[in-house]
């Protein structure tokens, strides 16, 4: 209920406030309310306004130039980061290939170890024992 009353109150109060603010604005110069201007006063106000706009445009131009420099610096950083990412991806590929090569090398070394290990029949103590047994017979 309170919300409905507030909405209804603002419905009538808001236009009233807007209308009174439009009629309440006056221009004063040297403490006097001015309703009309001479041609020279109007030109003076226009020149003052143009001077303000020129200074604002100069500031905007300098800001635009500084932003262009910042953007070009950022673009250079992006290019360097892209190059670094390409190098990193190449390094990862090279490391993966190196890991695969080392795995293959490890498997080959294991096969060589199996080939180099003496078999049971190459044991000299077995032949020595067989020799003693055959010598006693």
**22, 30 contact by CB (below 8 A):** no
Residue 32 pLDDT > 70: yes
Instruction: Name the phi and psi angles at 115, rounded to 5.
Output: -75, -35
Distance CA 100, CA 84 (A): 24
Structure tokens of 73? 């610096």
CA distance 50 to 44: 10
> What's the pTM?
0.45
How large a percentage of the chain has pLDDT more than 70?
77
Q: In sequence order, what DSSP letters do the residues of 52-86 get, joined into one string?
A: HHHHHHHHHHHHHHHHHHHHHHHHHHHHHHHHHHH
Model pLDDT, residue 84: 97
For residue 55, give both structure tokens: 């200074």
- Report how far apart, in Å, the C-alpha atoms of 9 and of each of 12, 14, 16 are: 6, 8, 11
- 105 or 28: which leads in pLDDT: 105
**In this predicted model, what pLDDT tens digit does every residue of 66-109 receive, in sequence order?**
999 999 999 999 999 999 999 999 999 999 999 999 999 999 99
- Collapse the DSSP code of 28 into the 3-class scheme (helix H, G, I; strand E, B; otherwise coil) and give the result: strand
Cα distances (Å, whole numbers) of residue 132 to 27, 53, 121, 127: 133, 118, 16, 9
């Amino acid at each position: 209920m309170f919300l409905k009353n507030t909405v209804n109150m603002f419905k009538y109060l808001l236009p009233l406030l807007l209308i009174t603010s439009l009629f309440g604005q006056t221009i004063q110069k040297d403490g006097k309310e001015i309703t009309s201007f001479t041609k020279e006063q109007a030109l003076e106000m226009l020149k003052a306004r143009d001077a303000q706009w020129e200074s604002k445009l100069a500031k905007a131009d300098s800001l635009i130039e500084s932003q262009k420099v910042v953007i070009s610096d950022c673009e250079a950083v992006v290019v360097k980061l892209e190059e670094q990412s390409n190098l990193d991806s190449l390094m990862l590929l090279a490391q993966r290939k190196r890991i695969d090569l080392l795995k293959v090398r490890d498997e080959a070394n294991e096969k060589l170890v199996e080939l180099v290990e003496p078999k049971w029949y190459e044991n000299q103590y077995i032949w020595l024992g067989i020799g003693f047994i055959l010598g006693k017979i």
